Structure 1
Amino acid sequence: MRRLVSAGMFALPLIALVVLWAIVVRAFDVNPRLFPGVGAVGAAAIESLADGSLLAHVAASMWRVLVGTVLALVVAIPMGIAMGVSPGISSFFTPIFRFFSVLAGIAWIPIATLWFGYGFGAIVFVIFNAVFFVVTYNTLLGVASIPMPLRHAAASLGAGPWQQVTQVLLPGALPNIVTGIRTGLGFAWRGLIAAEMIATNVGLGYMLFVARDFYRTEVIVFGMIVIGVLWLLIDRLLLVPLERATMERWGMVRAA
């Protein structure tokens, strides 16, 4: 019951926004080519579900996010641990990371299309950059926050380099890593939509871009709603529970 009440309270502002939208469009007789009514968006939703186009766009976008994020994590977590352990590596790479962290995401789209062409590779590259720098930096912060006496104690008990990484450094940095994943995915989602408007012929961003050419504002608004709802589902059903469970596991917060 508590979860239902919490879900209802979370959805209430969104419902109020839809009601306000319907009232304003009708009261001011807004031109549907500028902004559609609720009914027109509902009809666009039914149409895209019936012809299967929505499923194709969502599947393509989600697959790109998954591949780009996994590749980024495979590289970012070891890199962050190495920077947290070695002052030399950290000193060398920190200026580079500060420089490229500003460029992560959509700034890479023009050159990504030159390197990989228009399609899967360019979009995955953009997502990789959006996630990589955030997760690496958060992993570095997590490793740096582990007290040195704890590392020395593990070494005195016979823990080798691999045991220290798997049993001390990685578990200790995990709350920061999960926070970085959550933040990085937010950047990746925005980068995905921007890249799909330019570098592909299928995906949620492409759906918005094509609808603009035909003045189908109802499809544009429906696509925006789908993008927002998908992100809310990913964040609330996957990332927030994962972050909460990680913090509870390592004693940062108490289980409710």
Structure 2
Amino acid sequence: MTEVLYTRPEIVRGDGKKDFLQVEKTLSAFERIYRIGAVRKAFILFVLAAAWEIYGRWLGNPLLFPSFSETVTAFAANIADGTIPARALASIKTLLIGYGIGIVLAALLTTLAIGSRIGADLLETLTSMFNPLPAIALLPLALIWFGLGQGSVIFVLVHSVLWAIALNTHAGFRSVSNTMRMVGLNYGLRGLKLVRHILIPAAFPSILTGLKVGWAFAWRTLIAAELVFGVSSGSGGLGWFIFENRNQLETANVFAGLFTVILIGLAVENLIFATIEKKTIRRWGMQA
């Protein structure tokens, strides 16, 4: 396998045109493997797992910090008896509901913001007021307003997702050049058609960033909310699984719950968001 290092003019022909010479380099087996992103990420994960295992064995206290192998054993045991899959499914269902509602509300706010000055002022005012407010701080009020049910968790999830997505989307829309806007207007695009065909494709890198940040905020808020909500309701997802095993001093199971959250995060980032990025941003030439 060869790689083109650079291209430079070599000779000038009689007609004044230039012939170009491509300077190539033969890649070694190591270089070919190194260029595969999945291999590099797998190596990083292997190093982190090895460091985890070494520190856990050196500490020699599974109650305080179980090793990676002990965590994997606990994880496999909870997978086999169906505990982690059931808890993870409960968490993901709740998260997707809150995440979806947050996306819809963010889309409405940003569409209103780019359509009028009062809409932009409304979005800026609301984000200035509520974005610095930790979502988990609203959980006591949510429990009063919505009771000991799923609605309380969904409420704080929407709060954690909404402002991150709205801010990034609005910033992306504002960064779209006037030239592109004018092209859309010249083609007769107005209102939602302009947003759909011009603004969203042009601002999609910022929108995707907002979706990633919103997803991360939603996970953190969900686990924190379930740690509290699970205590009150006696049921819950991964957060309640972590809390329950902490009370029982099953530290390996606690780490197994955290390990599950990490695995889900890696899967979503590398399978869903990476696929969306390849089919949109990289395909459209917005990113190398």
TM-score, normalized by length of structure 1? 0.88
**Against the structure 1 CA distance between its residues 40 and 165, is the aligned structure 2 distance closer, same or farther, given a 3 Å change threshold?**
closer
Does the alignment pair 1:131 with 2:161? yes
- More displaced 10-residue stretch of structure 1: 19-28 or 134-143: 19-28
Q: CA deviation at 1:28?
A: 3.8
- More displaced 10-residue stretch of structure 1: 21-30 or 215-224: 21-30
Deviations 1:119-155 (A, max 9, x none): 3211212221111111111121122122234333433
Does the alignment pair 1:15 with 2:46? yes
Q: Which runs of 5+ in 2 are unaligned?
A: 1-31
1:160-175 → structure 2 map (5 Å cutoff) = 160-175=190-205
1-structure distance, mates of 2:249, 2:51 = 23
Q: Which runs of 5+ in 1 are unaligned?
A: none
1:115 is aligned to 145
- More displaced 10-residue stretch of structure 1: 51-60 or 239-248: 239-248
Q: CA deviation at 1:69?
A: 1.1
**Against the structure 1 CA distance between its residues 87 and 36, is the aligned structure 2 distance closer, same or farther, given a 3 Å change threshold?**
same
Query: Which of 220, 226, 251 matches 2:254?
Result: 220
2-structure distance, mates of 1:15, 1:140 = 39
- More displaced 10-residue stretch of structure 1: 166-175 or 219-228: 166-175
1-structure distance, mates of 2:184, 2:69 = 63
TM-score, normalized by length of structure 2? 0.79
1-structure distance, mates of 2:175, 2:203 = 8
Does the alignment pair 1:83 with 2:105? no
Q: Higher strand proportion, which one?
A: 2
Identity %, equivalent residues: 30
2:285 is aligned to 251
**Against the structure 1 CA distance between its residues 79 and 28, is the aligned structure 2 distance closer, same or farther, given a 3 Å change threshold?**
closer
1:183-222 → structure 2 map (5 Å cutoff) = 183-200=213-230, 201-222=235-256
Query: Which of 17, 25, 29 matches 2:56?
Result: 25
Counterpart code for 1:9: R
Q: Is the 8 A contact 1:179 1:243 kept in 2?
A: no
Counterpart code for 2:247: D
2-structure distance, mates of 1:206, 1:4 = 41
1:46 is aligned to 76
Deviations 1:7-29 (A, max 9, x none): 23212233223333333333343
Q: CA deviation at 1:227?
A: 0.8
2-structure distance, mates of 1:28, 1:155 = 66
**Against the structure 1 CA distance between its residues 153 and 35, is the aligned structure 2 distance closer, same or farther, given a 3 Å change threshold?**
closer
Q: Is the 8 A contact 1:85 1:143 kept in 2?
A: no
Deviations 1:150-171 (A, max 9, x none): 3334334333333223222333
Q: CA deviation at 1:187?
A: 0.8
- How many positions carry a matched residue from both structures? 253
- More displaced 10-residue stretch of structure 1: 212-221 or 105-114: 105-114
2-structure distance, mates of 1:3, 1:127 = 39
Q: CA deviation at 1:3?
A: 9.2
2-structure distance, mates of 1:135, 1:233 = 21
**What secondary structure does 2:110 align onto?**
helix
2-structure distance, mates of 1:4, 1:62 = 34
Q: Is the 8 A contact 2:113 2:122 kept in 1?
A: no
Counterpart code for 1:25: G
The structure showing larger relative contact order (alpha-carbon pairs under 8 Å, at least 6 residues apart) is 1
2-structure distance, mates of 1:162, 1:35 = 54
Structure 1 or 2, whichever has the larger Rg, is 2
Counterpart code for 2:55: V
Q: CA deviation at 1:73?
A: 1.0
1-structure distance, mates of 2:66, 2:223 = 21
**What secondary structure does 2:133 align onto?**
coil
2-structure distance, mates of 1:248, 1:116 = 43
Q: CA RMSD in A?
A: 2.2
1-structure distance, mates of 2:277, 2:36 = 22
Q: Higher helix proportion, which one?
A: 1
